[in-house]
Amino acid sequence: MAEQPLGAKCMDKNLREIFERDGFAVIPNFTAPKKCDELKQRANELIAEFDPAKFSVFLAHEGSVNDETYFLESSDKISFFFEEDAFNTKGELLHPLELSINKIGHALHARDDLFRSFSTGPDLDCISQTLGAVDPLILQSMYIFKQPRIGGEVTWHQDSTYLYTDPPSVIGFWWALEDATKTNGCLWVLPGGHKTVPLKSRFVRKPNGVMKYEVWDRSPWPEASQFQPLEVSKGTLVLLHGLLPHGSQPNRSDRSRHAYSLHAIDGKADYPAENWLQRGLKQPFRSKNSPEDG
Ligand code: FE2
């Protein structure tokens, strides 16, 4: 792996070359710290408006997504998912609500004015096209909290498992809204793994409506020692190829690790009806308007 990170935004001529070689690219200082703080504040406001009586637990391990209906319906909503360790054995919260949420998903980019504005615009459109998307469409968004002490592990996975297209076209945009370190659960990636590890599974909707992992490759993940930590500072944008194996460790520190992520696909690629996200509000980066329900 040669030089990373990049110093410029979408016009950096090395961006596509690095992304195709490594399966990821790091752009420091992409977003101003003040904007990161605005997004953090808005996420906290959304939690304050949230009625915890309508909650679901999001378990970030393969095969253990609970409350499937709530999960599936989150594709076009602002929905809240708790950290796995947020509750005691009686189902009571162990920490304040704002320190118990794992993530908000999956349509902040469509349903909230601030996140919509942040998630659209020419820079992101340009990056997507530079990376090869002919007709880039935002498919989903997530605000990830990685809470102090209880922030859950995200096991090795490929984003194309969840957002499959033919040909593969998923691009993940991941912003560090706070400094991300090995201590508070930064991303870990397998450099070049998008070319060496086949898509290992797909998360598909069966004809009876039940979601299942369809395993395509039973070989083990590469050794953990081959993965690289992405310790990045607040405001950094990380771009991830949909086939790149990645994950993050639990956060046992006393510092949160907030991040915002968007996933885009190429509208020219085939998007199967078995993908979990069918009611998603696909929209181009260029659009500042709320998309039609689809
Ligand atoms: Fe991911």
Gap from CA of 155 to ligand 1 centroid (Å): 9
Torsion of CA 79, 82, 84, 86, to 10 degrees: -170
pLDDT score at 61: 39
Q: Two tokens at 88?
A: 């005691």
Q: What was the pLDDT predicted at 75?
A: 84
Tokens representing 84?
A: 């796995």
**Which ranges of the chain have pLDDT less than 50?**
2, 58-65, 292-294
The model scores a pTM over 0.85: yes
- Distance between Cα 149 and ligand 1 center (Å): 21
Q: How far apart are CA 108 and CA 77, in angstroms?
A: 7
159 CA distance to ligand 1 middle (Å) = 5
Phi-psi region of 129 (alpha: psi -120 to 50; beta: other; left: phi over 0): alpha
Residue 152 Cα to ligand 1 midpoint, Å, equals 13
What ranges in 209-265 are assigned the alpha helix state H? Answer: none
Q: What is the pLDDT of residue 10?
A: 66
pLDDT digits (tens, 9 = 90+) for 193-226: 999 999 999 999 888 778 899 999 999 999 999 9
Distance 28 CA to ligand 1 centre (A): 19
CA 132 to chain centre: 19
Cα-to-centroid distance, 90 and ligand 1 (Å): 31
Residue 158 CA to ligand 1 center (angstroms) comes to: 6
